[in-house]
Amino acid sequence: MEEIFFRGFMYPVLARRMGAAWGIVLTALPFGLIHLPQYGWAWGAALVIVMVGVVCGVVRAVTRSVGASFLVHVGYNGTQMIIALVYTHGFRHMERAAVGLFGLG
């Protein structure tokens, strides 16, 4: 749904009115900001997600395809899940994620 909203609906309107670069930036910023609660309001994590939004936006602009940006987004999310799966030994040791991500423990 994020790709459909940000790169499918928002990007074309902004790109037509302001140019591709502004379309990319103005879709990447809110894309990152909506993830703040998910990452415990960590601005560093939000910045990473903004950069993911920029990459997805560039892919959308270059290929003119929401499908292509969707695949990049799925690849990013899938990579995160595989790393979490390996790091937590099949999600059986979630305390490792808390220690590794948040320095708790």
Quick one: residue 100, left, alpha or beta (phi over 0 = left, psi -120 to 50 = alpha)? Answer: alpha
Listed residue (34, 37, 42) closest to 103, CA to CA: 42
Domains of the chain: which residue ranges?
2-102
The CA distance from 103 to 16, in Å, is 44
pTM: 0.85
The CA distance from 69 to 3, in Å, is 7
Cβ neighbours around 64 below 10 Å, total: 9
How do residues 61-103 score in pLDDT, each as one tens digit?
A: 999 999 999 999 999 999 999 988 998 888 888 777 766 555 5
How do residues 11-41 score in pLDDT, each as one tens digit?
A: 999 999 999 999 999 999 999 999 999 888 9
Q: How many helices (H) and strands (E) does the chain have?
A: 6, 0
